[in-house]
Chains A and B, each alone.
Chain A
Amino acid sequence: MTTDSETPTAPPGVLVRSSTASTATLSPRRTLVEPDDAAGSGDQVAPPPTPRRLPTPLRPRDFGTRDIALLVISAFSSFCLTWVIFFQVTSLSGALGFLVVWYVGFLALTWLSTAEVIERSVATDRVVAVVVVSAAMLVSGLVVFIVAWVAYKAIPSIHWGSLLSKDQLHLEATDPNALAHVGVVHAVIGTLEQVLLATAVGVPFAIATAVFLNEVKGWPVRTVRTVVTAMSGTPSVVAGIFIYSLLILTGYLPYSGFAASLALVVILLPSVTRVVEEVLRVVPSGLREASQALGAPEWRTVWSVVLPTARSGVVTAILLGIARIVGETAPLLFTAVGSQVKNWDPFLHDQGALPLSIWSNHQFPQAVYVDLAFQAAFVLMSFVLILFVLARLFSRPKGKRSKNVSEGDDMMARYFIPVPIERPTESEVGQ
């Protein structure tokens, strides 16, 4: 046993017979009273009288006070050690360096102390766990920090009455109440139109390409896949220059939101294609065979079986694509150019966009401009958030789900692909 708790060594999910001696030490919440089936037929399990929850699995790696104490002591010792190294032994300085040395020291001390107190294999396990958990905390903490920082900078200066109703034309940097007369609606209009157009143009092509990559066999598929992969490495500024030199300089298109959306399509296509392809690949081939065996032509199989089965995944892919392009700035610089006023027509004249607003306003020294840039950033991030929530809601498969499908399976269905679940029902077991 690696923990100091006196819990019995039942593997996760195994029902412990109530008559077993070891149950005596279990807390009442964890005790499972199993109906005495010794009298009945051994292989037929009677349905439980009431729904029960499985106990929290008991794992040999369970955390006890000793483990927490080890971590806390290691962290503290490492802090002291780093302090000694930084301020007594050497003359190092800098917060980042301090943190890095502290963390490395923490890992080393955790390993040493755990190896001393428990054993070496547990120590390695513990250190890997600490690395993994801290990486996850770092990443999610970073996201939370970015969102919170933008909100903190933007919200105090927001005039809610004007933010989404006025454009930036009448910005007087000297007016102390300037923000009451300006907003970002011109950029919101531009971003919405550009992203919608890019999605409308790009997504059908992306899905069709993904279907081609997944359902067709032969050498052209490998070539196309390589090209798509290479395309996903296109720097976004190159996409902007490409559209600029190909369509705007030659006079086919004016500077406009539509030109911007074409540049965004170049960014959107490869990312959505690759994700949709991955999602379609996970659709079991048995479903395709079943559909073909029912006499469905191939297009029918794709349209009625493969795509609906992968629906949530496809929606997620589209969403990721939109999230990818909604914040792109470089492709818009040469195409939509940016504007201070509302322009509803995406096919004519310069058009604003939220990323362009952030980029251009943040270059000014006056506080109002910087505030406005943060407000635009705040609106942009709210858009992305709303998009994610909407997509999660809409990507649920239609039809009621059975009650015997547990939450985990439901999550699986919502975020990935509905998987067939093999589980005998009561009626079947009973018969």
Chain B
Amino acid sequence: MTTEVSMPPPPFDLTGGTPARGGRWAGPGPGGPVEAGEIEAEGVCAWFGGRLVLETVTLTMEQSKVTALIGPSGCGKSTFLRILNRMHEVVPGAQLAGSVRLDGVDIYGPGQRAIDTRRHIGMVFQKPNPFPAMTIADNVLSGLKFSRNAPADRDDLIEEMLTKAGLWNEVKDRLGELGGALSGGQQQRLCIARALAVRPRVLLMDEPCSALDPTSTLRIESTIKEIAEEVTVVIVTHNMQQAQRVSDYCAFFLAEENKPGRVVEAGRTEMIFGEPSDQRTSDYVNGHFG
């Protein structure tokens, strides 16, 4: 590190525990209807092999709202998103500090298992990745199969989830086809249906539309608005218009030269785009850089 940074708390071992209160989330859990959750991130720092990439991010993603994470490439938005459902620790050499609470329970607390967390906090990736060896129907049910939570009303659940993801009318006659047979936009909506089927409290979306055409993008955006009532959505996007269209809240991430990424400004979307308090935010949302 050549530049001075304020000393963040030291990284802790992901496999060891942190002094945080353990606990379980209320509600019926995967399989039954649940309420949307609230995520509070406090003092989150992230390292990749000793290099600090994200510094003391404190952010609350409110229940049943859509929060957009915006910022130029390499500012740590995606890393932050992956910290929220413990996908960060899958990367070799990744470390982190701080705490992330889902409805008050620290997901990195002692006794919290990563796979439980991920069932409550789902994720949709940048590149559509339906399981190519499974049929469309099996793709929707895959999350439940993984958690040994076979639904009693299989067909109803498939229809419900595909309807929510806005895909039902297009695929209802071809549920037995392989997931790879769909177009890119359809595949991404299938991935959303798959993530919703485990009934998460929060859905994380990592640039879900960046590989798609404008029509598919619009359909996915309308899907996001529809599901926001039942599930809190956190979306990373490079598209300013998209952030304005879908999100209630916005957080602007920025990594200045040779410095780790941090949140410059966060607040209601109208505020971030309308009257940002920071000059850098204003420059970014108005397209002066990034």
Q: Which residues of B contact A162 (CB under 8 A)?
A: none
Q: Would B132 and A418 count as touching, CB distance under 8 A?
A: yes
Alpha-carbon distance A23/B191, docked complex (angstroms): 45
Q: Would A294 and B129 count as touching, CB distance under 8 A?
A: no
- Give the residue of A292, A418, A428 whose beta carbon is less than 8 angstroms from that of B118: A292
Q: Which residues of B contact A421 (CB under 8 A)?
A: 180-181
Q: How close is A430's CB to chain B, nearest CB, in angstroms?
A: 10
Q: Would B183 and A289 count as touching, CB distance under 8 A?
A: no
Is A427 close to B, CB under 8 A?
yes
Q: Given that A292-B87, A293-B87, A294-B146 are contacting pairs, would A420 and B115 also be in contact in the complex, using a CB cutoff of 8 Å? A: no
Count contacts on B: residues with CB < 8 A to the other chain. Answer: 48
What mask results when residues 119 to 150 of chain B are scored 1 for a CB within 8 Å of chain A, else 0? 10011010111111111000000110111000
Since A295-B147, A402-B181 are in contact, a sample of 19 more A-B pairs with Cβ atoms closer than 8 Å, ordered by chain A residue number, is A286-B125, A286-B129, A289-B129, A294-B195, A308-B133, A309-B131, A399-B177, A400-B174, A400-B178, A401-B181, A402-B174, A413-B180, A417-B132, A418-B180, A420-B128, A420-B130, A425-B186, A428-B215, A431-B215
Q: Which residues of B contact A397 (CB under 8 A)?
A: 132-133, 178
- Give the residue of B116, B125, B180 whose beta carbon is less than 8 angstroms from that of A419: B180
What mask results when residues 152 to 188 of chain B are scored 1 for a CB within 8 Å of chain A, else 0? 0000000000000000001000101111111111110
Most chain B CB within a 10 A radius of its CB, from A217, A296, A417, A431: A296
Interface residues of A in 279-294 (CB under 8 A from B): 284, 286-287, 289-294
Q: Given that A308-B133, A400-B177, A431-B215 are contacting pairs, would A295 and B119 also be in contact in the complex, using a CB cutoff of 8 Å? A: yes
Q: Which residues of A contact B92 (CB under 8 A)?
A: 217
Q: Which residues of B contact A401 (CB under 8 A)?
A: 177-178, 181
Q: Which residues of A contact B180 (CB under 8 A)?
A: 413, 418-421
Q: How close is B76's CB to chain A, nearest CB, in angstroms?
A: 18
Q: Would B183 and A424 count as touching, CB distance under 8 A?
A: yes
Q: How close is B193's CB to chain A, nearest CB, in angstroms?
A: 12
Is A192 close to B, CB under 8 A?
no
Q: Would A300 and B178 count as touching, CB distance under 8 A?
A: no
- The residue of chain A having its C-beta at the shortest distance from the C-beta of B133 within the complex is A308
Q: Given that A304-B142, A418-B132, A427-B170 are contacting pairs, would A292 and B90 also be in contact in the complex, using a CB cutoff of 8 Å? A: yes
Interface residues of B in 186-217 (CB under 8 A from A): 186-187, 191, 194-195, 198, 213, 215-216
Q: Which residues of B contact A413 (CB under 8 A)?
A: 180
Q: Which residues of A contact B79 (CB under 8 A)?
A: none
Alpha-carbon distance A427/B183, docked complex (angstroms): 10
Q: Which residues of B contact A286 (CB under 8 A)?
A: 125, 127, 129
Is B63 close to A, CB under 8 A?
no
Interface residues of A in 294-334 (CB under 8 A from B): 294-297, 300, 304-305, 308-309, 311
Q: Given that A304-B145, A418-B178 are contacting pairs, would A294 and B87 also be in contact in the complex, using a CB cutoff of 8 Å? A: no
- Give the residue of B115, B117, B129, B182 whose beta carbon is less than 8 angstroms from that of A290: B129
Alpha-carbon distance A275/B167, docked complex (angstroms): 38
Q: Which residues of A contact B237 (CB under 8 A)?
A: none
Is B85 close to A, CB under 8 A?
yes
Q: Would A404 and B90 count as touching, CB distance under 8 A?
A: no
Q: Given that A404-B181, A424-B183 are contacting pairs, would A297 and B115 also be in contact in the complex, using a CB cutoff of 8 Å? A: yes
Most chain A CB within a 10 A radius of its CB, from B118, B123, B132: B132
Is A405 close to B, CB under 8 A?
yes
Q: Given that A287-B131, A293-B85, A295-B115 are contacting pairs, would A422 and B184 also be in contact in the complex, using a CB cutoff of 8 Å? A: yes
Q: Given that A305-B131, A424-B213 are contacting pairs, would A294 and B176 also be in contact in the complex, using a CB cutoff of 8 Å? A: no
- Give the residue of A294, A402, A420, A427 whose beta carbon is less than 8 angstroms from that of B194: A294
Q: How close is B255's CB to chain A, nearest CB, in angstroms?
A: 23
Q: Which residues of A contact B115 (CB under 8 A)?
A: 292, 295-297
Alpha-carbon distance A220/B79, docked complex (angstroms): 29
Most chain A CB within a 10 A radius of its CB, from B116, B118, B198: B118
Is A423 close to B, CB under 8 A?
yes
- Give the residue of B134, B183, B184 whose beta carbon is less than 8 angstroms from that of A308: B134
Alpha-carbon distance A427/B215, docked complex (angstroms): 11
Alpha-carbon distance A295/B112, docked complex (angstroms): 13
Q: Given that A289-B87, A304-B146, A402-B177 are contacting pairs, would A294 and B125 also be in contact in the complex, using a CB cutoff of 8 Å? A: no
Interface residues of A in 387-431 (CB under 8 A from B): 397-402, 404-405, 413, 417-425, 427-428, 431
Q: Which residues of A contact B118 (CB under 8 A)?
A: 292-295
Q: Which residues of B contact A398 (CB under 8 A)?
A: 135
Alpha-carbon distance A400/B147, docked complex (angstroms): 26
- The residue of chain A having its C-beta at the shortest distance from the C-beta of B146 within the complex is A296
Alpha-carbon distance A159/B141, docked complex (angstroms): 56
Alpha-carbon distance A293/B86, docked complex (angstroms): 9
Q: Would B176 and A399 count as touching, CB distance under 8 A?
A: yes
- The residue of chain B having its C-beta at the shortest distance from the C-beta of A301 within the complex is B146
Q: Would B133 and A293 count as touching, CB distance under 8 A?
A: no
